[in-house]
Structure 1
């Protein structure tokens, strides 16, 4: 009888030891997987300060101005929407841009280029067809929406 009890006790300890090893192996595997996933994660890159949506009304000779919304995305793509303030005119275009030397060169899907300059206090300024500042008293700036 003592022999049966001793055998059962040994088997119980062996069984418990096997389960504990499996539990430890599972925990170690889980920790290893977690550590590997954390290494693979790269810190989220912050969007450039200029990325965002700019709005304003740009002057025009033939209308009360163009209500303009320009979205500059961190992946160097843009979306430009214009609507005449007092006429039935709407235009929308998308494309890519390059930011260099404080200036944005927007290239539409049709290949047309438009230029803007980054200014202080969350503004960008529409430039002429050659990428130069327009000499005028009129306000050609768009303000970044916060």
Structure 2
């Protein structure tokens, strides 16, 4: 009887240890998916990001901002913003830089401001000023599509 209880206790400890290890593994896997891939592949070194991207971004006081952003391999950009139904066009050029993970860029505006984008396959997704993903009902409106 004593041997049976000892075996049950040992099995319980072993099972408990396996459960903890498994949940730790799952938590680690979840965070790895949210950050840069550990094999060294990033948007910066794996995607054909040097291109022209277009889309109509939301606007607080107009029908939208038709945006064309060209990213060049020398880390410079050309930006054209056309405010629809307002007859206002803004064009500028400057530089941009990658974040340390190689997943998003910051476009340094001529007025001292900046734009942030997550670089995905064939698209740029606008980020908020803190570099966080824009969520909510208009989230899909904050995408610039790569042009052929």
The alpha-carbon deviation at position 60 of structure 1 amounts to 1.1
**Corresponding residue SS for 1:71:** strand
The alpha-carbon deviation at position 63 of structure 1 amounts to 0.9
Mean alpha-carbon deviation: is it higher for 89-98 or for 63-72? 89-98
Structure 1 runs, 4 residues or longer, greater than 2 Å off:
108-111
Select the structure of larger CA radius of gyration. 1
**TM-score between both structures, scaled by the size of structure 2:** 0.62
Q: Deviations over 1:59-86 (max 9, x none)?
A: 1121110000000000000011100111
Distance 2:142 2:75 in 1: 22
Distance 1:93 1:118 in 2: 21
Matches within 5 A, 1:55-74: 55-74=54-73
Cα RMSD (Å): 1.3
**TM-score between both structures, scaled by the size of structure 1:** 0.63
Relative contact order (alpha carbons < 8 A, sep ≥ 6): 1 or 2 greater?
A: 2
For structure 2, the residue ranges without an aligned partner over 5 or more in a row are 1-46
For structure 1, the residue ranges without an aligned partner over 5 or more in a row are 1-47
Q: Does residue 145 of the first structure (1) align with residue 147 of the second (2)?
A: yes
